[in-house]
């Protein structure tokens, strides 16, 4: 460790359970953060400041004004520019700690790319907003023996749990199946930024222990808090279920899953289309659509306003169509303006 690093992280090194050895391990560590919303942007900011050597941010979305109330890394300029969250995030991380190596991955985590995007990692942090992606992370983490930290927050309620493959219950031990039916989301039930910070901070605390090699300090527990009702519950999860499909029987159906829908509802009056499996050149598309309506583009995404809809197209061929939850409408707009 250089004298500059020793000074920069001095207050963390002074904390005895970490010390200089723990800090050295953080400096050599690599983490992957999936989803850079309220939880993910807090995790990324905190881990960069703590000196984690390499941070990968995977996110499929772009910054919007309604994110700023709780998504700590972003500002109004990012929303005005419609920057992908992963790109905006790594810019902010570099400004807070230039010695951290960062990678922005603007993509949807899918069974086809999950192992490539999530590995290698000392720990994977859940910043997603959906169970489909969490079960995919769980499959990769259990299959490859990588710790991950589940987290979720909505309204004033938050939940988090560290998952240490081989040492504690996995997500599928606790809930063998993803919850069925519509779940409350930040877009339907709202969220207080304080609970997102609380869950994100808890996840960061567990990540620091794991990355610094202090696994004995990680007590696997499902922690549930409500900052409005002033409740806190914590349930031990040290025992895994031998019948669990993932960690017991090692059947990774979410990772092998062929059945993943090519169109998903994003929850906030928008539909994501990811049917197109080939990259898209945004330059010519910008010219074509510019003749039909307002277009705002940056190297990472193109936004086309076709009132009452708004379509954001990414270079990987994905599009998020805002203003509808009707898959047929979204698909026809995509076909009309982007092509099949």
Binding footprint of Zn ion on the chain (CB under 5 A) = 170, 172-173, 240, 244, 246-247
Identify the CA nearest to 223 among candidates 159, 179, 151, 308.
Answer: 159
Residue 339 neighbours by CB under 8 Å, 6+ apart: none
Catalytic residue flag (residue 170): no
Distance CA 121, CA 49 (A): 18
Shortest reach from residue 202's CB to Zn ion, in Å:
21
Distance CA 220, CA 53 (A): 25
Shortest reach from residue 160's CB to Zn ion, in Å:
17
Pairing of strands 263-265, 270-273: antiparallel
Determine contact, residues 55/31, Cβ cutoff 8 Å. Answer: yes
Q: Which of 242, 308 has the CB closer to Zn ion?
A: 242
Identify the CA nearest to 40 among candidates 137, 179, 173.
Answer: 137
Q: Which of 180, 243 has the CB closer to Zn ion?
A: 243
Q: Which of 123, 171 has the CB closer to Zn ion?
A: 171
Distance CA 7, CA 338 (A): 52
The active-site residue out of 36, 170, 173, 186 is: 186
Exposure of 222 in the CB half-sphere (CA atoms within 13 A): 12
Shortest reach from residue 168's CB to Zn ion, in Å:
9
Among all residues, whose Cβ is closest to Zn ion? 244
Shortest reach from residue 136's CB to Zn ion, in Å:
14
Q: Which of 172, 207 has the CB closer to Zn ion?
A: 172
**Residues recognised as catalytic:** 186
């Amino acid at each position: 460790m250089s004298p500059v690093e020793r000074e920069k992280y001095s207050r963390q090194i002074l904390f005895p359970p970490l010390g200089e050895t723990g800090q050295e391990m953080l400096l050599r560590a690599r983490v992957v953060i999936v989803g850079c919303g309220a939880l993910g942007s807090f995790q990324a900011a905190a881990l960069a400041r703590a000196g984690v050597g390499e941070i990968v941010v995977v996110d499929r979305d772009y910054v919007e004004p309604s994110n700023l109330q709780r998504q700590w890394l972003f500002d109004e300029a990012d929303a005005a520019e419609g920057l992908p969250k992963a790109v905006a995030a790594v810019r902010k991380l570099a400004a807070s700690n230039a010695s951290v190596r960062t990678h922005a991955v603007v993509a949807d985590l899918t069974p086809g790319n999950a192992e490539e995007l999530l590995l290698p990692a000392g720990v994977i942090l859940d910043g997603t907003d959906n169970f489909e992606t969490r079960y995919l992370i769980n499959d990769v983490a259990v299959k490859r023996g990588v710790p991950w930290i589940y987290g979720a927050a909505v309204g004033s309620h938050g939940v988090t749990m560290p998952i240490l493959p081989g040492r504690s219950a996995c997500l599928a031990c606790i809930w063998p199946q993803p919850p069925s039916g519509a779940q409350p989301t930040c877009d339907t039930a709202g969220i207080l930024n304080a609970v997102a910070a609380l869950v994100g901070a808890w996840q960061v605390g567990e990540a620091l222990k794991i990355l610094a090699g202090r696994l004995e300090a990680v007590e696997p527990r499902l922690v549930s808090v409500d900052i409005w009702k002033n409740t806190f519950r914590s349930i031990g999860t040290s025992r895994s279920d031998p019948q669990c499909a993932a960690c017991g029987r090692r059947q990774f159906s979410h990772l092998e899953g062929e059945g993943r829908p090519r169109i998903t509802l994003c929850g906030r009056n928008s539909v994501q289309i990811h049917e197109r499996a080939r990259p898209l050149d945004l330059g010519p598309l910008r010219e074509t659509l510019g003749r039909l309506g307002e277009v705002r583009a940056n190297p990472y995404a193109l936004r086309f306003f076709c009132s009452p809809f708004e379509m954001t197209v990414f270079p990987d061929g994905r599009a998020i169509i805002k203003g509808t939850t009707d898959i047929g409408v979204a698909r026809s707009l995509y076909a009309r303006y982007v092509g099949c």
